[in-house]
Amino acid sequence: MGFIAGSKLLKKPSSAPPNESLQANPIEKTPDNNKEKVDDADNTNDSSKNTSTDDAAKAPDSSDKNETSDNSKVNPNSPGTADTKPVDDSEPKKEAFLTFDDGPTTNITPRILKILDEYNIKATFFVIGQNAEKHPEIIKEEKEKGHAVANHTYSHDYKYIYNNPSNFLKDLEKGDQVLASILGEHSSKIIRFPGGSFGSKRAAYREAVKKAGYTYIDWNALNGDAERLNVPASTLIERVKESTKNKRHVVILMHDAATKKTTADSLPQVIEYLKSQGYEFKTLEQQ
Ligand SMILES: [Zn+2]
């Protein structure tokens, strides 16, 4: 499916028909990809931001190729599913995967966790190793509450990690080590590229991480909280509505960063909306 690259998750039979996967196209919001980079790139200098922006602008080509090959892995499962369970075919489950990048933070993560608890919803936190080191107790709490804790690199430093694939892998490994030291073990191989995996300039990085056994997951919906500071909650909610429209499987990009107060403010309404649309909530490890 569009928001997923790599193969591990796609090998599992899904209730969704294959054409659903094609619908979930991560490219439609390419400008937001740029913005995500700019905003959450605290450690990024201008030149690497520009590089990322160029990269995202070229997203459609390489991502499409990537999806095509991934979908071919899914297809063998589909005919059987469709023949024996026609109900699944006409009425696939709607699933929402809330994802929060760049944490943990002392002011926003606890608010997100509280809201998720209130709705008894599990989400996925793509955490930065450096931040995890500073707040290990929050990482533990995320895990204890049943959320997925996944690696979003150790440094999130575009200049370093995207200098070459070897650096990227080293940074991922360092992130894994931090999570393992906090949690006792960290076996999840799910990662998210800072700024997303889109674009031809990331091709070598995608290959390298796949070869190293990682599964990288982008997004096909978002709340737009990376566009600028203090995006009004009402705008964030609208962006979720727009970007999830007509999609049965949505991976929603949001940010768990100190400045993202309105992301927490808007979260109850985002959840209410998705519930009203019939979505079930899962972590990316439950896919
Ligand atoms: Zn990030």
> Which domain CATH number covers 70?
3.20.20.370
Which stretches within the chain are classed as H helix?
Answer: 18-23, 30-40, 46-57, 59-74, 78-84, 86-90, 109-119, 129-134, 136-144, 158-161, 165-183, 203-211, 233-244, 261-276
Check if the beta carbon of residue 32 is closer than 8 Å to that of residue 226.
yes
pLDDT tens, N- to C-terminus, the chain (287 residues): 445 554 334 333 333 333 333 333 343 333 444 444 434 434 333 333 333 333 333 333 333 333 333 333 333 333 333 344 444 556 789 999 999 999 999 999 999 999 999 999 999 999 999 999 999 999 999 999 999 999 999 999 999 999 999 999 999 999 999 999 999 999 999 999 999 999 999 999 999 999 999 999 999 999 999 999 999 999 999 999 999 999 999 999 999 999 999 999 999 999 999 999 999 999 999 88
SS3 222: strand
Residue 167 within any structural domain of the chain: yes
For residue 182, being part of any structural domain is answered with yes
Question: Are the CB atoms for 158 and 128 separated by under 8 Å?
Answer: no
Domain count of the fold of the chain: 1
Q: Is residue 161 part of a domain?
A: yes
**d(CA 10, ligand 1 centre) in Å:** 23
Reduced to 3 states, what is the DSSP secondary structure of residue 235? helix
Provide the domain limits for residue 33: 9-14+24-76+101-281
Residue 73: CB atoms within 10 Å: 11
In a domain, 89, yes or no: no
Report the separation in Å between the CA atom of 114 and the middle of ligand 1, taken as the mean of its atom positions: 22
CA distance 223 to 169: 29
The answer to whether residue 240 is domain-embedded is yes
Backbone φ and ψ for 222, nearest 5 degrees, come out as: -160, 165
Query: Is 49 a member of any domain?
Result: yes
Cα(158) to centroid(ligand 1), Å: 10
Residue 165 in any domain: the answer is yes
Interacting residues of 83 by C-beta distance below 8 A, sequence separation 6+: none
Domain annotation covers residue 94: no
C-alpha of residue 119 to centroid of ligand 1, in Å? 25
Q: What is the pLDDT at residue 89?
A: 56
Q: How many angstroms is it from 14 CA to the middle of ligand 1?
A: 28
Tell me the CA–centroid distance for residue 259 and ligand 1, in Å: 13
